[in-house]
Amino acid sequence: MYVCPSATPADTSGLQALAGAGKIKPDTLVALVGKTEGTGAHDDWGRVWADAALREWTASFLGVPVEEVAKHVIFVLSGGCPGVITPHIAAVTREWVEAPERQADDKRLVVGRAGSDAIAPEEVGRMGMIRKVAAATHEAMKDAGLTDPKDVHLVMVKVPGLTTASIKDAESRGKTVVSHDLTFGPEGAGVYANDGAALGVAMALGEVPESKLSDEVVRRNWDLFSEVALRSAGLRFNDGLPDEQDLDRLVHVFAKSVIPGSDQVRGRRITLLDDVHAYEIGKALGGMLVASVTGRTTNYVSGGERNSHQGPPGGNIVAAVVRAE
């Protein structure tokens, strides 16, 4: 995994340099994952422009038409870098390496990927989506050569939001949609989509049995969730902060910064739930926390939603990629 800061949303110079140095190759590049500058709102054009520019660059790099790029490389772009989050693109590569005989618990990082079946607007944030994401998660595990869900430490899902056009499409076919709110607000289509994906992953990994899932539990029953933990990555913490030496081995951090559903933090009232900028500020708080722990600003921190099935109530998920000692 290689992390390139971006000077503008359409900046592909970092990727070009990696390609020039032979670090990424057309047959090893499997994903581009990044944070783009801009508002992070659902109509953030910085993110859309970055997506267009990255696809165009990748098409040229792979020598395939732009429409076919998605078959080869997964793109996950999270919009909005409020506060101390540096816009960047992480290139994920994969290749087969001859490994010496190892012990069973001496594990290394592998990556798998899969595309789900198409998700209709009426399925977003509902069982239709949950099942399709669960199936794709199983496919991705297979692609990574994994059979034990315990070996899965991070599942990133590119989720479809709803748009004025897709809602109109669904309703013209007599279907309802989960929300008419296009935003990432507490009843917004964006958070229903994210949470549908989280529950799909939880179902695939056996964290939540399918029998407990239904359209009604999404964003209502917070006891159902998926989670991943940072400390298992092998970093040592000393009174809350990682060692300087360990930080040298830290390749990248993926974190979610979800706003708790309560207006109390450790018994004291905060006003974040009532803040019209809660979504942006929630993301900024997570970015600050990760930056203060890692000592760097180039971290993948998304979030800002109120409550989520992407972690336990009041908790958040974080995953770190660390070079072996």
CA-based nearest residue to 76, from 13, 126, 140 = 140
Determine which residue in the list 241, 251, 314, 323 makes contact with a second copy, applying CB under 8 A: 241
φ and ψ at residue 217, rounded to 5 degrees: -80, -15
Q: Is 266 an interacting residue with respect to a second copy (CB under 8 A)?
A: yes
- Residue 158 bears catalytic tag: yes
Determine which residue in the list 15, 18, 87, 319 makes contact with a second copy, applying CB under 8 A: 87
Which SS3 state, helix, strand or coil, does residue 200 take?
Answer: helix
Are 196 and 130 in contact by the 8 Å Cβ rule? The answer is yes
Q: How far apart are CA 230 and CA 228, in angstroms?
A: 7
Are 205 and 228 in contact by the 8 Å Cβ rule? The answer is no
Question: Using CB under 8 A as the criterion, what x/- string covers residues 286-315 for binding a second copy?
Answer: --xx-xx--xxxx-------x---------
Q: Which is nearer to a second copy, 46 or 200 (CB)?
A: 46
How many Å separate Cα 147 from the centre of its chain? 22
Contact segment (CB under 8 A) with a second copy among 36-44, 106-114, 119-127, 222-230 equals 36-44
> Are β-strands 29-36 and 318-322 bridged in parallel, bridged antiparallel, or unpaired?
unpaired
Minimum distance, C-beta of residue 56 to a second copy, in the bound complex (Å) = 10
- Residue 212 bears catalytic tag: no
Q: Is 45 an interacting residue with respect to a second copy (CB under 8 A)?
A: yes
Which residue in the block uniquely carries the two structure tokens 């267009």? 52
Catalytic residue selected from 232, 257, 292, 308: 232
Q: Is 185 an interacting residue with respect to a second copy (CB under 8 A)?
A: yes
Q: Is 236 an interacting residue with respect to a second copy (CB under 8 A)?
A: no
Token pair of 277, please?
A: 């900028």
Element (H, E) at 294: helix 278-294
Minimum distance, C-beta of residue 112 to a second copy, in the bound complex (Å) = 30
Minimum distance, C-beta of residue 248 to a second copy, in the bound complex (Å) = 14
Q: How far apart are CA 85 and CA 41, in angstroms?
A: 16
Minimum distance, C-beta of residue 185 to a second copy, in the bound complex (Å) = 5
Q: Which is nearer to a second copy, 7 or 70 (CB)?
A: 7
CA-based nearest residue to 129, from 40, 227, 218, 32 = 218
Q: Judge residue 95's burial from the number of C-beta atoms within 10 Å of its C-beta, 0-12 exposed, 13-18 middle, 19 or more buried.
A: exposed
Q: Is 173 an interacting residue with respect to a second copy (CB under 8 A)?
A: no
List, by residue number, the catalytic residues: 158, 232
Using CB under 8 A, list all residues that contact a second copy.
5, 7-10, 37-39, 41-46, 48-49, 52, 81-87, 164, 179-183, 185-188, 219, 238-241, 261-263, 265-266, 268-277, 280-282, 284-285, 288-289, 291-292, 295-298, 306
